[in-house]
Amino acid sequence: MPKISVIIATHNRPHLLPTAISSARTAARDVEIVVVDDASSDDTAAVCKSISEITYVRVDRNQAVAGARNVGLIASSGKYITFLDDDDLRLPNSLDRQIEALEQNPNAAFVYGQAIPESSNGERGPAQPRCCPQGDIFWLLLTRNFIPCGSVVFRRSILSKIGLLDEAIPGIDDWDLWLRITELFSVIAIEAPAIIWRQSSPASTQGSSNTVEIIAKSARHFRRVFTQLPRFANASQKDQRRTWRDFSTNVAEHLSWETFSGFRNGAFGHALQSARTLLSLHPAAFMSVFRWWMNVRTIAALIKSTVTPVQIATAKMHFKTVCSNLPDDENHSLQKSF
């Protein structure tokens, strides 16, 4: 049995696979690489067959990312598991370090780390999240998904307790999985970069590129599913209201940023969609957002985003810090949400 399985789901992007696979091999000494071809219609199969020592699995009907990852989970055999997007990169020795941390902390269900964001032109930003909460993170994780998916290494044994990924919620399936795990188990983190995270865009065909759609889906899933989780359902009304308020604030911050970013880039349709989603999901947040935008520090943060692409993520993070009224050293969960 291999020590760890790296599951790479892919669809019509064969040019990315050799680099992703190579990075996984440098990340661990004893690694199984499982590539799930999610009904590609190009030469993905030929590329995979030309690469030695990988497990190649093809599905004939497109499953989307969550479904393809579930296929990979079933096909894999490692004691530990991690997901890697086909356009992301694992950093050398990062998996070995995370496995060692899990073996030293037998009560932890998974370990996660930081991701270095990389723009389409190759510029890299600061590692995210800047601070990595550990232990019981269930309530904090409910308010926002601050965990980079590709940085997580989890124990195969926990799947028997929490099940597979939910294929009905592409784009937030990882967040849902982490919440089901953290409801029952503690986690650990290594505050060091584990992956290079290539930033999504509509042109990238990544499922995470439509931020506004994902935010709306997250709000619906919170109301319908997360509120039914036993730990949330059995909590006091005060804790339930506080958690929903914090989640709503995060949603309003994201949508206000998406609105500004859309107007800034001339994507007026995207900006209007963001504004409409904000008003439909959280009408009461409109005046709060208006007050944020009148704040001098907020305006300064927005202006920062006009400098270079790599500074946009930093400006966005600072913008949300100002809007949340949090000092920088407490803003550990604002950097990689949704």
At 282 the pLDDT is 63
CA distance 118 to 125: 6
CA distance 184 to 48: 37
Strands of 55-59's sheet in order across: 55-59, 31-38, 4-10, 80-83, 153-155, 108-118, 186-198, 89-90
CA distance 154 to 138: 16
C-alpha separations of 290 from 86, 120, 253, 256, 325 in Å? 39, 32, 11, 9, 15
SS3 of the chain: helix, strand, coil, percent, to 5: 50, 15, 35
CA distance 219 to 284: 15
At 308 the pLDDT is 47
CA distance 174 to 195: 16
* Rounded (5°) CA angle 334-273-305: 45
pTM: 0.83
At 188 the pLDDT is 98
Where do runs of H (alpha helix) occur along the chain? 17-27, 44-49, 64-75, 94-104, 138-143, 159-162, 173-182, 211-224, 230-233, 237-264, 268-281, 285-293, 296-304, 309-324
Helix, strand counts (H, E) of the chain: 14, 8
CA distance 216 to 279: 11
Per-residue pLDDT of the chain (338 residues; tens, 9 = 90+): 899 999 999 999 999 999 999 999 999 999 999 999 999 999 999 999 999 999 999 999 999 999 999 999 999 999 999 999 999 999 999 999 999 999 999 999 999 999 999 988 889 999 999 999 999 999 999 999 999 999 999 999 999 999 999 999 988 999 999 999 999 999 999 999 999 998 865 444 444 447 788 888 998 999 999 999 999 999 999 999 999 988 988 887 777 777 777 777 787 787 777 677 767 766 665 556 556 555 555 556 555 555 444 444 444 444 444 344 433 333 333 333 44
At 112 the pLDDT is 98
Domain boundaries, the chain: 4-204, 225-325
Quick one: 50 exposed, middle or buried, by C-beta within 10 A (0-12, 13-18, 19+)?
exposed
Topology at the third CATH level for domain 4-204: Spore Coat Polysaccharide Biosynthesis Protein SpsA; Chain A (3.90.550)
Q: What are the residues whose beta carbons fall under 8 Å from the beta carbon of 73, sequence distance 6 or more?
A: 7, 81, 159, 164, 165
Q: What are phi and psi of 41, to 5 degrees?
A: -115, 15
